[in-house]
Structure 1
């Protein structure tokens, strides 16, 4: 099948696609907690860690357009790479992610859930820097903790990857529960219209 979807789409393009093709699938690859806190109406949650874990099993039995969504676009790009390796090619990434969607005053569903991954990274990095500076008062070499964190954040920005978010993603509140694959994956791969959508 040849690609007919652009690699990335801006919020207005995605909204137009949803209006003109109701079978378009919005797949949010953030953690379940992030999805529960806020998500685009009609989107389905299929976390990135689940896609990585089941990459060898992923085959789509449909030709519906798929738009991948995350907080900023970085994790959705990673998900696109995973899915293209698995043979799925009708994929686009929402440019700017949920953040860009909100900047266009597009509708959002809000609930209760964990902080977004970016906010968790900021908190963790801030605590490590603060701890390193305070601890260096007693033992001066510990100031290099702050330098290490700063270097890591600089590399994350340049490479558009984030090792800290990968580590935080292993925490229980960010992990997909065992058994959720059977419920979540059909939203992406199933022949019928996604059943896990939240349309309210």
Structure 2
């Protein structure tokens, strides 16, 4: 197993022409703007894409990107466990944009989706408020609010997010099969 490493935005920008960039955000997030040349393979499709990612890694260095760096770090660990050396972009797409680097916006973005962090905040807040409101009818409903609070604490301690994993499975966060097939073909072709 190899150990993943990180590149800051300036290091990544100077090497962008030689890197194979994999964006592990949802397709909706990817459509809101991504690093030039980045290919979208959502984190929950990584295992399916392993053979093509391994093939691409034989041709060049891989840079894995997400919104903030947390999902890409998880992806790097997953790929390292399969013998694939990668780097993550420190701070993710957010840091890339904040440092003034160019983002690519597809001409034909099919949908405008919220980033995953925003979706998690909305869902967590809605469940907490619902649990508190229904808790006036029966105290047991407050357990939903407590469960979300516990999940948020666990998420912070482990740098993972179960709610984001669940939300990523919703239809608006899933890639169209044709899009994923085209991405995997691009990895194979090089």
Do the two structures share a fold, i.e. TM-score over 0.5? Answer: yes
Match of 1:68 in 2: 64
2:81 paired residue number: 85
Q: TM-score, normalised by structure 1?
A: 0.82
CA–CA distance in structure 1, aligned partners of residues 97 and 52 of structure 2: 33
TM-superposed CA distance for 1:63, in Å, is: 2.9
Larger mean Cα displacement after TM superposition, 175-184 or 32-41: 175-184
Q: Counterpart of 2:184?
A: 185
Give 3-state SS (helix, strand or coil) of 1:39's partner.
coil
Paired residue for 1:33?
A: 28
The ranges of structure 1 where at least 4 consecutive aligned residues each deviate by more than 4 angstroms after the TM superposition are: none
Distance 1:13 1:181, change over 3 A: same
Residue ranges of structure 2 left out of the alignment (5+ in a row)? none
Assess if the C-alpha contact under 8 Å between 2:55 and 2:188 holds in 1. Answer: yes
Cα distance 1:55–1:169, how it changes in 2: closer, same or farther (>3 A)? same
- State whether structure 2 residue 139 is matched by structure 1 residue 123: no
In 1, distance between residues paired with 2:12 and 2:83? Answer: 23
Would you say the 8 A contact 2:40–2:180 is kept in 1? no
| Corresponding residue for residue 59 of structure 1 | 54
Q: Once superposed, what is the RMSD of the aligned Cα atoms?
A: 2.3
In terms of fraction of residues, the more helix-rich structure is 2
The equivalent of 1:140 in structure 2 is 139
Partner of 1:153: 152
Residue number in structure 1 paired with 2:90: 95
Note if contact 2:49-2:184 (Cα within 8 Å) is conserved in structure 1.
no
Q: Secondary structure at the match of 1:102?
A: helix
Judge conservation of contact 1:58–1:86 (CA < 8 Å) in 2.
no
**Separation (CA, whole Å) in 1 of partners of 2:179 and 2:145:** 38
Change (3 A) 1:107 1:88: same
Q: CA deviation at 1:57?
A: 6.2
Unaligned runs of 5+ in 1: 193-200
Q: Quick check: 2:22–2:40 contact (8 Å CA) kept in 1?
A: yes
- Secondary structure in 1 aligned to 2:136? helix
Change (3 A) 1:94 1:23: same
